[in-house]
Amino acid sequence: MDIGSIETGIRKHRRRRKWRRPGRPAITTRLSRYLMAEIAGPAILAMLVIAFVGVGNELRERAEVIEVGLISAWDLGRLVLYFMPTLITYIVAVTYMIGILMAFGALNQSNEFVAMKAAGIPLRQLVVPVILWGGVLSIFCFVLQDRVQPWAWKRVNTLLYEELPQRATLEVLPVGVMHQFGNSRAYIGGRDLATKTLYDITIIQPEPDRKSTVFYAKSAQFVREPSGMKLVLHDAHCLFPTSQDMYGRSKLDNYSLPLPSPESLKAPSLRRTLHLSELFDEEKALLVSHQEARANNFSAEEQTHRKTELLRMRNEIAERITLPLAVLAVSFVAAPLAVRSQRGGRSYSFAIGFVVILAFYLLQTMLESGSLKSMSEIMVRGLLPIVLFTAIGIWATWRVDRV
């Protein structure tokens, strides 16, 4: 056997040995997957709980718009789906931090981090992947907020302010309550669903001279015709205005009363239906409008209105940019603090989480501009908590392996 054959055999043996015995990078990769699996469980559970509460709060805030008799289970499911993109961008930072603290607290209680340190694995290699995943979630939240959220809010506005009002006929409105129906008002005393008959119904129709015509019927039924909806009144009476502030009265039977088509409502705000680029274009237009109002000495009320709209638009832009970065900032602080909580357990983790979230959002609230500032100043105010927490997290990560 010659020297060349021996050297070739040694090289093959070394390659096989290297393949069979993975080094530290492979171990670190497996540990990273293990840590992220431990974080994902409590984070997803917390997200579901907070999202459930958030959706309920969104529905409660719109209780005046949503008629219970008009909304179906399918409509409710669509509203939950449409509200989720907006809620996720707000709660991912909190839920990811909860997942980090709960997972790391449990690992510390079972002394798994002690075993990893004894095996020569530095804690920094456990913290860095968690922070990197925080960056990935920040990108995900930004895309979700800029691309999916406008689509979802358009669907919410269409359903609440266009579709539901169009269903608002007297057939489905609750009884015992006075309702605004188009430009008229209607009161329904009772309803028979089998025969689709209304009982003790009163219709008040305004007239051009600020007076009203009142129709009362013991019973009435709907008739749908190509020309529109009509209400056939049985055993009815009519009070109508005459000259000299007097009212006349007439008895009617089987009288067909034309009804106006339900009108769509105006959505309260359209800022959330715009993409970030569209928000910047709208901000420029509002700035020109605000400057025009000041230059032409518009009324104080009009100037205040335009100033408020410009401030809200600038705050919306700052929130779209800074809110997704909160995930990265919180993970920078939570990961090194949680990995060093030697004997704290879950109670210590909850305490850390409460302090971190309270400090972050309190600082963000304090720095939020309540008066009109330049776009750059509002952006700096919004980014300051992110920069501060990121700097603290970098320092804590650098010192995480020190005794």
- What is the structure's pLDDT at 13? 47
Among 258, 274, 300, which residue terminates a domain? 258
Q: 43 and 103: one domain?
A: yes
Helix (H, G, I), strand (E, B) or coil at 234: strand
Q: 162 and 41: one domain?
A: yes
Instruction: Tell whether 113 is covered by a domain.
Output: yes
Instruction: Tell whether 263 is covered by a domain.
Output: no
Among 258, 275, 302, which residue terminates a domain? 258
Q: 238 and 333: one domain?
A: no
- What is the structure's pLDDT at 325? 92
Q: 100 and 184: one domain?
A: no
Q: Residue 224, Cα to own-chain centre: how many angstroms?
A: 39
Q: Token match 């392996």: residue?
A: 401
Q: How far apart are CA 150 and CA 90, in angstroms?
A: 15
Tokens matching residue 176? 């015992």
Q: Are 283 and 317 spatial neighbours (Cβ–Cβ below 8 Å)?
A: yes
Instruction: Tell whether 288 is covered by a domain.
Output: no
Q: Token match 């008002």: residue?
A: 185
Instruction: Tell whether 53 is covered by a domain.
Output: yes
Q: Residue 205: which domain range? A: 178-258
Which residues, in sequence order, are bridge partners of residue 215? Answer: 203, 238
Tallying the residues shown for the chain, one arrives at: 403
Q: How far apart are CA 400 and CA 387, in angstroms?
A: 20
Q: 124 and 67: one domain?
A: yes
Q: 243 and 315: one domain?
A: no
How many domains are contained in the chain?
A: 2
Q: 124 and 182: one domain?
A: no
Q: 28 and 148: one domain?
A: yes
Which residues, in sequence order, are bridge partners of residue 258? Answer: 230
Question: Of 41, 101, 48, 86, whose CA–CA distance to 330 is shortest?
Answer: 101
Q: 242 and 109: one domain?
A: no
Instruction: Tell whether 270 is covered by a domain.
Output: no
Q: 14 and 122: one domain?
A: yes
Instruction: Tell whether 274 is covered by a domain.
Output: no
- The one-digit pLDDT tens for each residue of the chain (403 residues) are 455 554 555 455 455 444 344 444 544 577 888 888 888 988 899 898 888 888 888 888 877 666 666 677 888 888 889 998 888 888 898 899 888 888 888 887 788 877 887 877 788 888 888 899 999 999 999 999 999 999 999 999 888 887 777 666 666 677 888 877 767 888 888 888 777 788 898 888 887 766 788 888 888 887 777 666 788 888 888 888 876 667 778 888 888 887 766 666 777 778 889 999 999 999 999 999 999 988 888 888 898 989 999 999 999 999 999 989 999 998 888 888 887 765 555 666 667 777 888 888 888 888 887 888 899 999 999 999 999 999 998 898 888 776 5
Question: Of 137, 181, 157, 107, whose CA–CA distance to 330 is shortest?
Answer: 137
Q: Are 311 and 372 spatial neighbours (Cβ–Cβ below 8 Å)?
A: yes
Q: 186 and 248: one domain?
A: yes
Instruction: Tell whether 241 is covered by a domain.
Output: yes
Instruction: Tell whether 301 is covered by a domain.
Output: no
Q: Token match 């009815």: residue?
A: 236
What angle separates helix 24-61 from helix 124-143, to the nearest 10 degrees? Answer: 40
Q: 97 and 160: one domain?
A: yes
Instruction: Return the number of other C-beta atoms located less than 10 Å from residue 196's C-beta.
Output: 10
